[in-house]
């Protein structure tokens, strides 16, 4: 059983398959279920698992080979297959041995591919760095890809979808694999060159920007905000002086996603710089945030207004009171609290790439656990897994009882209100 736990949790390629929808404790329990009855795995079972693993690795090798196929459709499928595998499994050993081959494929697809292929390649670069973690291996990968990322990002004639994807990938790859804080600052300046083009003019009018370009600027702003979380205090002080007076201009954008990204970035800046001198335009900023938190403009879509109001209520609290609406993330037998704008921005950045595999990576990926200060992966045996599981019928009974108790409590409360009124 000890070998099995190492097999499941170790920092190796030999890990049980996880689909996009199966990054949960139930999946892990299912994958280890063949050891439930005995402490020593059945020889036939081990052979079957080894065969399945060999088949899986054979498929991965096929994907890697297909990334250089003549057919764009085949290359796209291979990139997507590798992305899914890396988002939902720990493949460190397998990938580490082939990291430069995969990097060469990503480089080729970024340079010669079009649109969706470049987009997939940029995402795969991020997942590769997440798998390798922070260190020499990911630094080698990023050193090769960073110049290509920056060229695509700065090239106004490049495919806009590719530029959008690169804006997001460059931010996270820099967080994971950049080893020089001055290079981090240089990358942040690349992002600044883009999102500042969405600033409202001094007379209050907004520049005319199409939705695709606005999305590029939004992605650049979010990556810039992510890198704020690793800046030195001196860098932060310079950034505050330069950008905090101007960032509120992005709140005038016609794009709801840009308005929200700008608001969250402002909240993040205030959280990082609580000890700096008071902000000159404090009252004007709070008035603007309050207006967005209670927005009733008829020309805006209802869904946009609802989404915006909810977020800006939290942002206004952050700026006025230094408050943050905490959120608990449960994964397996553990839980993590998102209790700051820094942690939220970091969590959202990783989740964008691993998707529904985020819970699995929080359980098993040593690098991501280190980022969120979760300690080494926990070893949970199958008996504990089974004890934690609850049948659908039991869950239904529990929910019914809770609903009944809640109804009774509300009825009593209503009766009391009636009594008070009649008195």
Q: Could you tell me which of 217, 114, 128 has the C-alpha nearest to residue 158?
A: 114
**What is the Cβ-side half-sphere exposure of residue 24, based on CA atoms within 13 angstroms?**
7
Query: What does each C-alpha distance from 336 to 268, 325, 372, 374 come to in angstroms?
Result: 20, 14, 8, 8
Number of domains making up the chain: 1
Let me know: does 23 contact 350? Beta carbons within 8 Å. Answer: no
Indicate whether 382 belongs to any domain. Answer: no
* Best-predicted range by mean pLDDT (14-23, 50-59, 77-86): 77-86
**Nearest alpha carbon to residue 93 among 176, 17, 173, 10:** 10
**pLDDT for the residue numbered 325:** 87
Does residue 361 belong to any structural domain of this protein?
no
Query: Is 188 within 8 Å of 227 (Cβ atoms)?
Result: yes
From residue 198, give the alpha-carbon distance in Å to each of 104, 206, 395: 35, 7, 49
The string of pLDDT tens digits covering residues 235-255 is 998 998 899 889 999 998 989
Token pair for residue 332?
A: 């397996």
What is the Cα 252 distance to its own chain's centre? 26
0.75 exceeded by pTM: yes
Phi-psi region of 186 (alpha: psi -120 to 50; beta: other; left: phi over 0): alpha
pLDDT in tens, 362-385: 999 999 999 999 999 886 555 554
Q: Is the pLDDT higher at 350 or at 286?
A: 350
The H helix count followed by the E strand count for the chain is 19, 2
pLDDT exceeds 50 at position 214: yes
Closest by Cα among 127, 44, 126 to 85: 127
List Cβ neighbours of 105 (8 Å cut-off, separation of 6 or more).
Answer: 64, 67, 68, 121
Locate 326 and state its tokens.
């905490």
Do 338 and 326 touch, CB atoms closer than 8 A? yes
Is residue 98 in some structural domain?
A: yes
Q: Is residue 274 part of a domain?
A: no
In a domain, 111, yes or no: yes
Enclosing domain of residue 141:
56-158
Give percent above pLDDT 70 in the chain. 75
Domain assignment of residue 66, yes or no: yes
Instruction: Confirm whether 152 is domain-assigned.
Output: yes
Q: How confident is the model at residue 403 (pLDDT cuts 50, 70, 90)?
A: low
- Residue 167 within a domain: no
């Amino acid at each position: 059983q000890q070998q099995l736990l190492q097999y499941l949790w170790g920092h190796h390629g030999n890990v049980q398959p996880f689909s996009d929808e199966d990054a949960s404790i139930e999946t892990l329990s299912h994958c280890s279920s063949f050891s439930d009855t005995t402490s020593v795995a059945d020889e036939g079972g081990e052979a079957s698992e080894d065969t399945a693993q060999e088949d899986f690795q054979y498929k991965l090798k096929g994907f890697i080979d297909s990334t250089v196929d003549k057919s764009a459709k085949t290359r796209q499928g291979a990139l997507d297959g590798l992305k899914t595998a890396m988002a939902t499994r720990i493949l460190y050993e397998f990938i580490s041995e082939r990291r430069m081959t995969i990097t060469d494929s990503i480089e080729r697809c970024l340079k010669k591919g079009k649109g969706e292929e470049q987009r997939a390649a940029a995402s795969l670069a991020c997942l590769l760095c997440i798998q390798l973690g922070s260190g020499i291996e990911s630094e080698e990968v990023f050193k090769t890809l960073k110049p290509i990322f920056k060229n695509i990002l700065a090239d106004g004639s490049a495919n806009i979808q590719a530029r959008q994807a690169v804006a997001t990938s460059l931010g996270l790859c820099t967080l994971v694999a950049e080893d020089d804080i001055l290079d981090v600052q240089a990358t942040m300046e690349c992002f600044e060159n883009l999102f500042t083009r969405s600033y409202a003019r001094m007379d209050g009018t907004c520049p005319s920007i199409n939705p695709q370009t606005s999305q590029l600027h939004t992605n650049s702003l979010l990556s810039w905000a992510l890198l704020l979380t690793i800046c030195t205090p001196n860098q932060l002080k310079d950034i505050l002086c330069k950008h905090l007076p101007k960032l509120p201009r992005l709140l005038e954008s016609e794009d709801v996603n840009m308005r929200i990204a700008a608001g969250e970035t402002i909240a993040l800046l205030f959280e990082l710089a609580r000890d700096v001198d008071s902000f000159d335009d404090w009252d004007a900023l709070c008035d603007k945030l309050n207006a967005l938190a209670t927005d009733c403009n008829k020309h805006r879509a209802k869904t946009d207004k609802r989404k915006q109001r909810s977020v800006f209520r939290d942002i206004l609290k952050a700026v006025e009171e230094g408050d943050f609406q905490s959120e608990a993330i449960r994964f397996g037998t553990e839980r993590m609290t998102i209790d700051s704008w820094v942690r939220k921005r970091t969590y959202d950045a990783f989740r964008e790439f691993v998707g529904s595999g985020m819970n699995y990576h929080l359980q098993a990926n040593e690098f991501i656990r280190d980022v969120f200060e979760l300690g080494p992966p926990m070893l949970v045996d199958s008996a504990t897994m089974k004890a934690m599981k609850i049948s659908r019928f039991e869950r239904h009974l529990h929910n019914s009882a809770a609903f009944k108790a809640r109804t009774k409590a509300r009825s009593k409360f209503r009766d009391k209100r009636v009594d008070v009124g009649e008195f």
